[in-house]
Amino acid sequence: MRPYIPKATFAFCNSLLASRLLPSATSPTARLLPVQALLITAGLLRHPDLSLLALNSLLRALSRRAASPAHPHFALRLLRLMLSHATPLPAPDHLSFPFALSAAAALDAPESSRAGAGAQLHALLVRNALFPADHYVTTALLQLYAPCPDLARRAFDELPRREAIHYDLVIGAYMRAGMPAEGLAVFRAMFEDGVAPDVVVLTTAVAACAQAGALDCGAWVHRYMQRTAPALLGDAFVGSALVSMYAKCGCLEEAVRVFDGMPERNEYVWSTMVGAFALHGMVAQAIACLERMVLEDGVRPDGVAVLGVLSACAHAGKVEDGLCLLQEMRSRYDIAPGHEHYSCTVDMLCRIGRLEEAVGLIKTMPMTPLMSVWGSVLAGCRSYGNVELAEMAARELEKLGGTANDGVYVQLSNIYLNANRKEDALRVRKLIGNQGIKKVAAYSAIEVDGQVSSFVANDQAHPRCFEIWEVLRLLADQMVQKPDEEELVSIFYGCNEEGCSYFS
């Protein structure tokens, strides 16, 4: 049995490693071979297990990229030294491997390199009977596989005993991969396995429902929390997830009801409500939230809330309101405009064809404009046929490396075609073919009878494509009739002679 090591000793090891061992071991020329000598000098070998404790502390410190992107590489190198019989370092124990897995996940390397390191560690864990027996090792392995949902699911299926955190990690992996329907299937299986979800899993599941547009499932989760743990509805993250889910699924009235029922609302909750109004183009309500959050809850607006209002102005075409808000951010709310605020304002100007003004705003930005800014300019040039600015935006995007996979050249080719510059369009198309550039296809998703279905434009492989085309034909026939604006408002918002029932 291992002797007990007090927490004070562990803290001492961490502080000593931070001040002496860590700078020495992570220098560019270090090979980590003098670690044993450093441990002896530091006096960490007097206790039988203290040297291993110190090495685990060093692994933990190196597994994070906060200090340097090279640290995770050093962590894996140290683990190899601990596994080698050629060095006098103690062998790793069950506490060493979670830190090594965290280091592999934090590697500043291509995804293939991270996957290769993960596969080697996975095999090592199986050989040493640490997977799937050890809870912390299993959790760290699932976190490593988070970018690859297939690998995460394979490891998940091998677990003889699953806990709530394991389900949460797999659902989150599917969500990050744009596969929320598969994540919700794992969530449903959780109840079949008899595992009770905790607040983290429920929040992740609600977010998956929002991403998939699965209103029925999201409403069921809401009712489940009301029935089994109503106190959770007061949690800021749970409440924000529900507000976002209902808004994204088109139920703004229910989103407002959840928001108003929360006992405590912080800046995160208010920002979510602002985003919900912005999603529905309700500029007045979004702007009012900036004042309400101060008056009702004493919460000061942050950059996220202001960005939500700018987004609402962009969706509704309220350009002057958006420009005024950008100019007054610092003086009125003591918030310095960030790149995302400028990007949203540029997009707002480009949507209505004020391209020259958008480029002028870009020139005043205190930071380097990124791809989102020039992408908005390029999209605006396509809508309004400005070839010169489109060429400039494409050049700027090329400098930023944004032409390999996001369809910049495809848009530029279409702009040339619309301007009847066929030779230029053909030149760009040849460039696309020679460089193997591919545009990632956008897709839409909708929930029908509890099943989430996705499809792309001109999708002839969809199992219900003929039904979709028939509905589109019917919609096109109705749109030819061009009802006046009052009729459209009545159709979409349920207004009648007595008034609108949108929030009633």
Q: Are residues 84 and 11 in the same domain?
A: yes
**What does residue 353 show for φ and ψ, rounded to 5 degrees?**
85, 10
Q: For residues 26 and 6, give the distance between their C-alpha atoms in angstroms, rounded to a whole number.
A: 27
Q: Are 370 and 343 in contact (CB under 8 A)?
A: yes
Same domain, 342 and 411: yes
Q: Is residue 51 part of a domain?
A: yes
Residues 468, 434, single domain; the answer is: no
- 279 and 246 Cβ atoms separated by less than 8 Å: no
Q: 65 lies in a domain?
A: yes
Considering only CA atoms, which of 162, 167, 158 is closest in space to residue 131? 158
Asked if the structure places residue 275 within a domain, the reply is: no
Q: Look at residues 108, 137, 171 and tell me which one is the last residue of a structural domain.
A: 108
Q: What is the pTM of this model?
A: 0.74
User: Is residue 500 predicted with pLDDT exceeding 50?
Assistant: no
Structural domain including 480 reads 462-504
> Is the model's pLDDT at 231 over the cut of 50?
yes
Q: Give dist(CA 229, CA 238) in Å, integer.
A: 12
Same domain, 428 and 396: yes
Residues 413-430, mean pLDDT to the nearest whole number: 86
Q: Is 494 in the same domain as 417?
A: no
In a domain, 389, yes or no: yes
**pLDDT digits over 102-122, tens only?**
989 888 766 666 777 888 899
Write the single-letter amino acid at 308. Answer: G
What mean pLDDT is predicted for residues 371-387? 92
CATH number at residue 393: 1.25.40
**C-alpha atoms less than 13 angstroms from C-alpha of 454 in its C-beta half-sphere:** 13
Q: What is the mean pLDDT of residues 268-284?
A: 92
188 neighbors 181 (Cβ within 8 angstroms): no
Of the residues 440, 475, 495, the one at which a domain ends: 440
pLDDT at 488 over 60: no
Q: How many structural domains comprise the chain?
A: 3
pLDDT at 468 over 90: no
In a domain? residue 273: no
| Residue 412 forms part of a structural domain | yes
Pair 51, 88 in one domain: yes
Closest CA to 260 of 292, 287, 231: 292
Structural domain includes residue 91: yes
Q: What confidence tens digit (pLDDT) does each residue in 120-142 have?
A: 899 999 988 899 989 999 999 99
**Whole-number pLDDT of residue 358:** 95
**434 and 471 belong to one structural domain:** no
Which pLDDT tens digit goes with each residue over 150-191? 999 999 999 999 999 999 999 999 999 889 989 999 999 999
Helices 371-384 and 355-363: angle between axes, nearest 10 degrees: 160
Same domain for 52 and 104: yes
Residue 37: pLDDT band with limits 50, 70, 90: low
